[in-house]
A and B are shown apart, each in its own frame.
Chain A
Amino acid sequence: MGNERRLAVKSEAAQLAVLTAFLKEFWSTAALPAEESLPFELALEEVFMNVVMHGAPAGAARVEVALHLDGGSLAMSIADDGPAFDPLSLPAPDVTAGLYERRIGGQGVHLVRQLMETVGYRRDGARNILTLGRQISR
């Protein structure tokens, strides 16, 4: 099977658990360090939930996640066939705002950008493709 795995699900919130289980299984099969999984779990949740909540009507889009381990580097791509949208175009939130001024929108994508070493968006035909990567210590 090599170092690449793929899974496609419908764009509905209940599928988040399925994607998380898929990532965790990949993690343990590849014997990656447990303490380094959070950035990928978080990126998967934030990007997927963005598609679910702001993309096509619930369940109408298909979201495909691919994980590719290349030496010490893990790449995750998340593709969906919803309306064209680049989450990386969202403005960064003000992380210095106080308890009451704080707006939560945009926080998820901001965290993804910070936690990942590489982030990229492209529209490929009818699909949005977000590519994320980060080194893993092995």
Chain B
Amino acid sequence: MKVRLEKVPHATLVIAEGRLDFGAAPAFQKELEQAVTAAHAAGGQVKALIVDCAALDYVSSAGLRSFLQAARASQRAGVVFALSTLQPAVREVFDLSGFSRMIPIHADRTAALARISSAKSPDGQ
């Protein structure tokens, strides 16, 4: 699995590519948590972390766990955590597990970013 970070105004994009399985999950979780910490440290400059899943082919329960931990860390840090562009088979895993009710999922990056810029930041600015 490959992960790439991209800074855009008010958000950090995490571009995830490949297979998020038991072997890949610990490193992916660490990467997400570091991105949450960096976003928090940037104060109001970075409001959100958006994981672009367009090239994510596979997720298992171990992968779901890394998303869950990152979503919790984001909430504690006051950073919005959302996903975008899930492939249909990956989306099905999120739906069946109930994770799509816990973590916001947007149709694409543009929709995710539009949602973030229209939302208030956690400190109300």
Question: Does B71 count as interface, using CB distance less than 8 angstroms?
Answer: yes
Residues of A within 8 A of B68 (CB): 99, 102, 104
The interface on chain A, measured as residues whose beta carbon lies within 8 A of the other chain's beta carbons, has a size of: 29
Contact with A along B88-125 (1 / 0, CB 8 A): 11101100111001100000000000000000000000
The reply to whether A99 and B88 form a contact with Cβ atoms under 8 Å apart is no
Question: Does A98 count as interface, using CB distance less than 8 angstroms?
Answer: yes
The residue of chain A having its C-beta at the shortest distance from the C-beta of B90 within the complex is A38
The reply to whether A96 and B98 form a contact with Cβ atoms under 8 Å apart is yes
| Distance in Å: Cβ of A50 to nearest Cβ of chain B | 10
Contact with A along B48-84 (1 / 0, CB 8 A): 0000000001101110110010011001000000000
Question: Does B23 count as interface, using CB distance less than 8 angstroms?
Answer: yes
The reply to whether B89 and A38 form a contact with Cβ atoms under 8 Å apart is yes
| Distance in Å: Cβ of A10 to nearest Cβ of chain B | 16
The reply to whether B102 and A102 form a contact with Cβ atoms under 8 Å apart is yes
The reply to whether B101 and A96 form a contact with Cβ atoms under 8 Å apart is yes
**Chain A contact residues: helix, strand, loop or mixed:** helix
Question: Does A64 count as interface, using CB distance less than 8 angstroms?
Answer: no
Question: Does A81 count as interface, using CB distance less than 8 angstroms?
Answer: no
| Distance in Å: Cβ of A86 to nearest Cβ of chain B | 18
The reply to whether B58 and A95 form a contact with Cβ atoms under 8 Å apart is no
B-contacting 9-mer, from A13-21, A54-62, A68-76, A129-137: A13-21
Question: Does A49 count as interface, using CB distance less than 8 angstroms?
Answer: yes
The reply to whether B102 and A108 form a contact with Cβ atoms under 8 Å apart is no
A107 to B96 alpha-carbon distance, docked (Å): 10
Given the interface pairs A13-B22, A49-B22, the reply to whether A108 lies near B96 with Cβ below 8 Å is: no
Q: Which 10 interchain pairs have the tightest Cβ spacing?
A: A95-B98, A108-B61, A38-B89, A107-B61, A114-B96, A45-B60, A104-B65, A99-B102, A42-B60, A49-B22
